[in-house]
């Protein structure tokens, strides 16, 4: 064989069975510019016919060095940057960051701010799941859900826009509380949204839950077990769909989630269909939380006692929240100055994406698209 490579001009007729490639094996490049990779993810697929033997993810196309930027900005200046990581769930990112810095400074946001935060974060969770559902269904070939979910997501974005002036990269919270008081009619808008949205989830479910094509494309596709999820550090709806009842809002409550009554939906099979069901249930649970929060929103200040210049004492903290995609953590090292000495983001998408290889082995190429969709990655967060 080694001689062969040096004598390419001669056809080796005596050993015709020796080829450079196994005739069935095929390396296919998918992305980075591919509509089904939800951004700039490149996946190198090793195939046997149409069966996937293995994958390799190539990431970093959207790397902006968020952690380096953080070291060169003050705590306050860095706050809007976190919205640009998971831009589908900017409010959650902001909540995690603000809470981490507050914890480092040993202050707490006042109750009214906590309620506003929970309402907006849960609205954002619904919006994130809607975006996921629309694009995921589109990848699999169902075009209608995209229009339905975007139509309804618009109502949430309108509330964000009225609250803080931005729809996507909201920068809704500040370290110590909220900058903006709720606008007149905020509570009414949120309540209206809840009554508007409840039948819409049923509408999504009517389109998909018992749809035969949907079932064929999602059942037993991309199966991952609970122990595998834990070993791979997978969190969020993917972990819960594999039967592990773990949600940071319950396990280690932050903000004021312990005040609210809600369930953690879990799946049993750990397949794409279960992850779909779990996220649908999560939207309903988020509505329950919002309903309670709007009813119980107290009066009072919205900003805690935080100095104008944020200067946490020397020390380090790790704080994480349950973002729509999984555990979003911030590890901050303070040297007592106005800028973080080191700020590490523990992104759920990055860690969850690592499980892609395990989930797609043995499936067909078309299923890879379904599995990428079901993990629910945002490349802005994977690459940071």
Binding site for another protein (CB under 8 A): 59-60, 63, 65, 67-69, 71-72, 103-104, 106, 230-234, 244, 246, 251-252, 311, 313-318, 320, 327, 329, 331, 333, 335-339, 341-342, 344, 346, 350-351, 354, 383-384
Question: Least CB distance from residue 100 to another protein, whole Å?
Answer: 11
Question: Least CB distance from residue 335 to another protein, whole Å?
Answer: 5
**DSSP 3-state of 236:** coil
Q: Pick the closer one to another protein by CB: 8 or 309.
A: 309
Q: Pick the closer one to another protein by CB: 196 or 318.
A: 318
Q: Pick the closer one to another protein by CB: 220 or 338.
A: 338
Query: Which residues 6+ apart lie within 8 Å of 260 measured at CB?
Result: 118, 288, 289, 292, 293
Q: Pick the closer one to another protein by CB: 12 or 316.
A: 316
Question: Least CB distance from residue 296 to another protein, whole Å?
Answer: 26
Strand 173-174, strand 177-178: pairing: antiparallel
Question: Least CB distance from residue 79 to another protein, whole Å?
Answer: 17
| Gap between the Cα atoms of 134 and 199, Å rounded | 17
Backbone angles phi, psi at 12, to 5 degrees: -90, 95
* Cβ 85 vs Cβ 345: under 8 Å: yes
| Gap between the Cα atoms of 121 and 238, Å rounded | 20
Q: Pick the closer one to another protein by CB: 189 or 383.
A: 383
DSSP states along 309-366: S--PPSEEEEEEEEETTEEEEEEEEE-SSSSEEEEEEE-HHHHHHTTHHHHHTTSBHH
Question: Least CB distance from residue 88 to another protein, whole Å?
Answer: 20
Q: Pick the closer one to another protein by CB: 141 or 315.
A: 315
Q: Pick the closer one to another protein by CB: 192 or 337.
A: 337
Question: Least CB distance from residue 270 to another protein, whole Å?
Answer: 16
Give the residues across from 323 on adjacent strands.
Answer: 326
DSSP states along 155-172: HHHHHHHHHHS-SSS---
Question: Least CB distance from residue 356 to another protein, whole Å?
Answer: 11
**DSSP 3-state of 39:** strand
**DSSP 3-state of 287:** helix
């Amino acid at each position: 064989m080694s001689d062969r490579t040096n004598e390419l001009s001669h056809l080796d007729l005596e050993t015709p069975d020796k080829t450079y490639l196994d005739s069935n094996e095929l390396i296919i490049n998918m992305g980075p510019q591919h509509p089904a990779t939800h951004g700039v993810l490149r996946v190198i697929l090793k195939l046997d016919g149409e069966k996937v033997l293995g994958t390799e993810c190539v990431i970093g196309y959207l790397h902006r060095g968020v952690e380096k930027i953080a070291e060169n900005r003050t705590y306050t200046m860095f706050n809007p940057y976190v919205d640009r990581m998971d831009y589908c769930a900017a409010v959650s990112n902001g909540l995690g960051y603000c809470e981490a810095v507050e914890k480092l400074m040993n202050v707490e946001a006042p109750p009214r701010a906590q309620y506003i935060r929970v309402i907006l974060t849960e609205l954002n969770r619904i919006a994130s799941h809607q975006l996921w559902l629309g694009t995921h269904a589109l990848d699999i070939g169902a075009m209608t859900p995209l229009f339905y979910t975007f139509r309804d997501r618009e109502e949430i974005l309108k509330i964000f826009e009225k609250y803080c002036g931005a729809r996507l990269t909201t920068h809704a919270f500040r370290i110590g509380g909220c900058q903006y008081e709720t606008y007149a009619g905020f509570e009414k808008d949120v309540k209206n949204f809840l009554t508007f949205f409840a039948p819409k989830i049923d509408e999504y479910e009517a389109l998909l839950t018992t749809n035969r094509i949907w079932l064929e494309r999602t059942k037993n596709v991309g199966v991952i077990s609970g122990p595998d999820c834990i070993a791979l550090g997978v969190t969020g709806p993917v972990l819960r769909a594999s039967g592990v009842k773990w949600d940071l809002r319950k396990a280690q409550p932050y903000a004021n989630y312990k005040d609210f009554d809600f369930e953690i939906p879990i799946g049993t099979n750990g397949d794409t269909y279960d992850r779909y069901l779990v996220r649908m249930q999560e939207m309903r649970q988020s509505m329950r939380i919002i309903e309670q929060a709007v009813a119980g929103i107290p009066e009072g200040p919205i900003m805690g006692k935080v100095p104008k210049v944020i200067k946490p004492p020397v020390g380090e903290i790790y704080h994480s929240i349950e973002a729509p995609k999984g555990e979003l953590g911030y590890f901050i090292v303070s040297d007592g100055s106005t800028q973080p000495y080191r700020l590490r983001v523990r992104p759920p998408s990055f860690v969850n994406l690592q499980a892609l290889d395990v989930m797609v082995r043995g499936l067909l190429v078309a299923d890879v698209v379904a599995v990428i969709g079901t993990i629910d990655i945002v490349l802005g967060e994977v690459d940071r």
